[in-house]
């Protein structure tokens, strides 16, 4: 019950605010006063027709109340739509992340599963990429919270660099180092490949500035390159050693 009265008070306050703006700053009132001062004939007519003017004024007040009510409803409606859109986008991001993780969990055992289905053993020369896939998958999952994070719009540069930019750069450096040492230079080059970078860069609603938006697009590129390295051994070096 308390929430009901609280909502009613908030709505009434919005209506009163907009209504006051219409009544005190409306163009008809300004025009009426200007005509009275500029035209003696209009001033005399106005004095002779006070009942008509009263009805017009009341009609204007009611019209202002109607428009004020609509504007207050519109503000609440748009605010609710924005909140629902943000929730839906967050759920979509979570579903995409969950779907990719589930897909990659199945990739590690795909060669063995295919061989069992066909009733044949895995070819002895086929490399075992299970450790590589698990490590790359873990790297992908590590960066997701940072890539999808909604930072405060008023976040200062120090907090941005310390809490977001620095961990992101550390992840890029560490992931690139591990790939080079365990999968070879070709795999590292693929991880850093910018051909998958979207052009022009999309503008993300969660970005708090141009630098942040650019960084998000680069993280999308790195994630896509990780997906390529997981799905294919084409960039594995001849002496790839997938160890943790």
Q: Note the pLDDT tens digit of each residue in 209-226.
A: 999 999 999 999 999 999
Angle between helices 130-147 and 166-183 (to 10 degrees): 170
Whether the model pTM is above 0.85: no
Are 226 and 135 contacting, i.e. CB atoms less than 8 angstroms apart?
no
- CB contact at 8 A, 230 and 104: yes
- What is the pLDDT, as a whole number, of residue 171? 95
The model's pLDDT over 196-213, given as tens digits with 9 standing for 90+, comes to 787 788 898 999 999 999
Neighbours of 239 (CB within 10 A): 8
Neighbours of 172 (CB within 10 A): 17
Which one has a higher pLDDT value, 94 or 116?
94
The Cβ of residue 141 has, within 10 Å, a number of other Cβ atoms equal to 13
Whole-Å CA distances, 123 to 79, 108, 116, 230: 59, 16, 12, 20
Angle, helices 40-48 vs 27-38, to 10°: value is: 110
**By CB neighbour count within 10 A (0-12 exposed, 13-18 middle, 19+ buried), where does 107 fall?**
middle
Exposure of 62 by Cβ count < 10 A (0-12 exposed, 13-18 middle, 19+ buried)? exposed
What pLDDT score does 127 carry?
60
Domain boundaries, the chain: 2-81, 108-231
In this predicted model, what pLDDT tens digit does every residue of 166-199 receive, in sequence order? 999 999 999 999 999 999 999 999 999 998 787 7
The single residue listed with the structure tokens 């897909």 is 103
Task: Give the span between the Cα atoms of 238 and 244, in whole angstroms.
Answer: 18
Give CA angle at 201 (199, 205), nearest 5°.
155
User: Span 9-19, mean pLDDT?
Assistant: 64
User: Alpha-carbon distance 239 to 183, whole Å?
Assistant: 8
């Amino acid at each position: 019950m308390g929430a009901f009265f609280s909502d009613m008070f908030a709505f009434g306050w919005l209506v009163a605010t907009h209504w006051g703006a219409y009544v005190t700053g409306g163009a008809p009132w300004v025009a009426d006063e200007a005509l009275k001062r500029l035209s003696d004939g209009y001033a005399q007519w106005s004095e002779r027709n006070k009942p008509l003017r009263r009805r017009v004024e009341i009609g204007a007040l009611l019209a202002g109340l109607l428009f004020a009510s609509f504007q207050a409803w519109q503000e609440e409606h748009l605010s609710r739509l924005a909140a629902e859109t943000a929730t839906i986008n967050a759920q979509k991001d979570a579903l995409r992340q969950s779907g990719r993780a589930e897909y990659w969990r199945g990739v590690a055992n795909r060669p063995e599963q295919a061989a069992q289905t066909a009733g044949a053993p895995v070819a002895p020369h086929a490399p075992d990429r299970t450790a590589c896939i698990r490590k790359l998958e873990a790297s992908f999952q590590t960066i997701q919270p940072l890539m999808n994070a909604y930072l405060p719009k008023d976040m200062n540069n120090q907090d941005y660099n310390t809490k977001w930019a620095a961990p992101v750069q550390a992840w890029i450096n560490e992931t690139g180092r591990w790939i080079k040492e365990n999968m070879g230079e070709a795999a590292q080059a693929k991880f850093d490949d910018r051909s998958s970078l979207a052009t022009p860069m999309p503008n993300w609603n969660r970005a708090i500035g141009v630098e942040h938006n650019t960084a998000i697009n680069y993280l999308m590129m790195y994630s896509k390159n990780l997906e390529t390295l997981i799905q294919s051994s084409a960039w594995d070096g001849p002496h790839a050693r997938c160890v943790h």
